Structure 1
Amino acid sequence: MSISTVGKKLSTAAIAATAIVLGIGAVAQATVLTFDDIAPISYYEQIPNGYGGFNWDNFNYVNGLNTIDRRTGYDNGRVSGDYVAFNGDGNPALVSNSVFDFNSAYLTAAWNNGLSVTVKGLKSGATLYSKTVVVDTTQPTLVNFDFFGVDELKFTSFGGVEPDYLIKSGAGTHFALDNFTFNEKATSVPEPTLLPALLTIATLSAGSVLRRKQLKQS
C-alpha cells in the first residue's frame, strides 16, 4: 500500500474520529408512544401536555375496549394495549415539540370507511412535509412518514362513508392513532472553542500513525 493511500485512509479516519467525538451522524434510538402508560381511564380524556415530551392540542386518548360499539376504529385500531389517541370532535389536532423526526404511526378511521387523513410536518411555521392517507375502520394502517427535522405535526381528517353497521353508534371524521414513533434530535454539541482542538488531536493522531508507517518502509 502506497504512502499516499495510507495518508488518505488516515485522513478519512481522522475525520470519522472527529465526527464521533462531536456526535455527528449518531443514530438515536426511536421512541414509541403507545398511549397505554398515561393514567388509566374508563373511557376517554385529554392527552396531558408533556406526554412523550410533546404538547398535545385537541388529542384525546380512549380505552378502545370500553367504546360504545366494539366495531369502531377505536377498538380495531388498537396495536398495543387498550388505548389509542384520537382527534377531538373529528377536528384538526396538533403535536409539537423541539425539533424531532416523525418516523411512523398506525392510523385507523373511527367511524368512516375511506377516511382521508392529511398529516403535515412543520418547522417554525413552515410546511416541510405533507402526506395524505386513506384508512378504514376495520384495521390499523401502518404509515411510514419519515418527516425529518420538524417541530410540529398537524393532523386533519375528512371524507369517507360510515358503514351501515355503525350508523346507530356515532359519526364523524375521527381517527385513531397508535404507536407514534419518533426520534429526538440531539441538541448538545461541544463548545465552539473546543472544535479546533478536537480537529487538531484527530489530525495529529493520524500524522503520527503515518510517520510510523513511513519509518517501517524506509
Structure 2
Amino acid sequence: MSISTVAKKLSTAAIGATVIVLGIGAVAQATVLTFDDIPLIFSRYSEPIPNGYGGFNWNNFFRTSDTYSLTGYNNGRVSGDYVSYNGFGLPALVSDSIFDFNSAYLTAAFYDGLSVTVEGLKSGATLYSKTVVVNTTQPTLVNFDYFGVDELRFTSFGGVEPDYLINTGGGGTNFALDNFTFNEKATSVPESTLLPALLSIATLSTGSVLKRKQLKQS
C-alpha cells in the first residue's frame, strides 16, 4: 500500500473520529401531533383523545373543532380544524415511556391572562416545570425542551373573562393545545474555535503515523 493511500485513509479516519466525537449532524426528525388525523368517533364538536394517539396515553384531553365561535378554541388553531383541550378546565396528563417534549402552542379558551403550568416528570418525580400566561386571541408557541421524561402534567388557573366573550355562555380555565412536538433532537455543532484545533490534532496524529511508517521502510 502506498504512503499516499495510507495518508488518505488515516486522514479520513481521523476526521471521521472527530466528527463522531463531536456528534456533528446527529439530527432526529421531530414528530408533530396536530389532532386532525384522529378518526371521528362521537361528534365533530368534541371527543376524547384516544390512548395510543402519537404513542401516548391521554388523560382528560379532548379535541374540538369549535370553528364557529370567537373563543380561544377557534383562535388557537395552528393547523387544520382541530385543537386539543383540557376537559372541564381540570389538570390533564400525557404519558408514555421515555420521550423528549419540545414545544406546543397554547391558547386560553375563555380567560385572558390564563396561567398554564406544564410539568415534566420521570417515575413520578418532577424534572421540569414551566408556567406560561396565555390569552384567548392568538396561540402562543412555548418551547419546553423537556428531555427524558415519561409524563407531562398540564394545570391551568387564573385569568379574567374578556368583554367580547361574556355573552358566549362559556367560561372556565380550559386551554387549547395544538402542534404538540416531541422527540426532536438538536444538532450538536462544535464551537468555531474547537473544531480547527481538533482537526489539527487529527492531522498531527496522521503525520506521526506516516513518519513512523517511513522510518520502518527505510
Partner of 2:81: 82
| Counterpart-to-counterpart distance in 1, 2:211 and 2:182 | 46
| Counterpart-to-counterpart distance in 2, 1:210 and 1:178 | 57
| Counterpart-to-counterpart distance in 2, 1:107 and 1:122 | 20
Contact 1:100 1:184 in 2 (8 A): no
1:8-40 per-residue CA deviation (whole Å, 9 max, x = no partner) reads 9966744755898xxx99432110000011124
- Count of aligned pairs between the two proteins: 186
**What SS does the corresponding residue of 2:159 show, helix, strand or coil?**
coil
1:140-174 per-residue CA deviation (whole Å, 9 max, x = no partner) reads 00000011111100000000001122123211000
Partner of 2:5: none
Partner of 1:153: 152
Partner of 1:198: none
Partner of 2:67: 65
Tell me the amino acid that sits aligned with residue 213 of structure 2: L
Partner of 1:199: none
Partner of 2:53: 51
Q: Which moved more, 1:137-146 or 1:37-46?
A: 37-46
| Counterpart-to-counterpart distance in 2, 1:71 and 1:132 | 25
**What SS does the corresponding residue of 1:127 show, helix, strand or coil?**
strand
Contact 1:118 1:156 in 2 (8 A): yes
| Counterpart-to-counterpart distance in 2, 1:133 and 1:208 | 53
Contact 1:64 1:78 in 2 (8 A): no
Say if 1:123 and 1:184 are closer, same or farther in 2 by CA, change over 3 A: farther
Say if 1:76 and 1:100 are closer, same or farther in 2 by CA, change over 3 A: same
**What SS does the corresponding residue of 2:145 show, helix, strand or coil?**
strand
Within a 5 Å distance, the mapping from 1:115-126 to structure 2 comes to 115-126=114-125
Partner of 1:202: none
**What SS does the corresponding residue of 1:167 show, helix, strand or coil?**
helix
How far is the alpha carbon of 1:77 from its aligned partner?
0.1
Say if 1:98 and 1:19 are closer, same or farther in 2 by CA, change over 3 A: farther
**What SS does the corresponding residue of 2:36 show, helix, strand or coil?**
coil
TM, length-normalised to structure 1: 0.75
| Counterpart-to-counterpart distance in 2, 1:209 and 1:153 | 53
**RMSD after superposition:** 3.1
2:134 is equivalent to residue 135 of structure 1: yes
**What SS does the corresponding residue of 1:151 show, helix, strand or coil?**
strand
Q: Which moved more, 1:117-126 or 1:35-44?
A: 35-44
Partner of 1:174: 174
5+ long unaligned stretches in structure 2? 1-9, 186-204
| Counterpart-to-counterpart distance in 2, 1:36 and 1:156 | 23
Say if 1:213 and 1:87 are closer, same or farther in 2 by CA, change over 3 A: farther
How far is the alpha carbon of 1:212 from its aligned partner?
5.0
1:35-94 per-residue CA deviation (whole Å, 9 max, x = no partner) reads 01112442010000000000000000001315xxx2100000000000000000000000
Say if 1:131 and 1:177 are closer, same or farther in 2 by CA, change over 3 A: same
| Counterpart-to-counterpart distance in 2, 1:154 and 1:11 | 46
Say if 1:18 and 1:103 are closer, same or farther in 2 by CA, change over 3 A: closer
| Counterpart-to-counterpart distance in 1, 2:151 and 2:56 | 9
Q: Which stretches of structure 1, 4 residues or longer, exceed 3 Å deviation after superposition? A: 7-20, 207-214
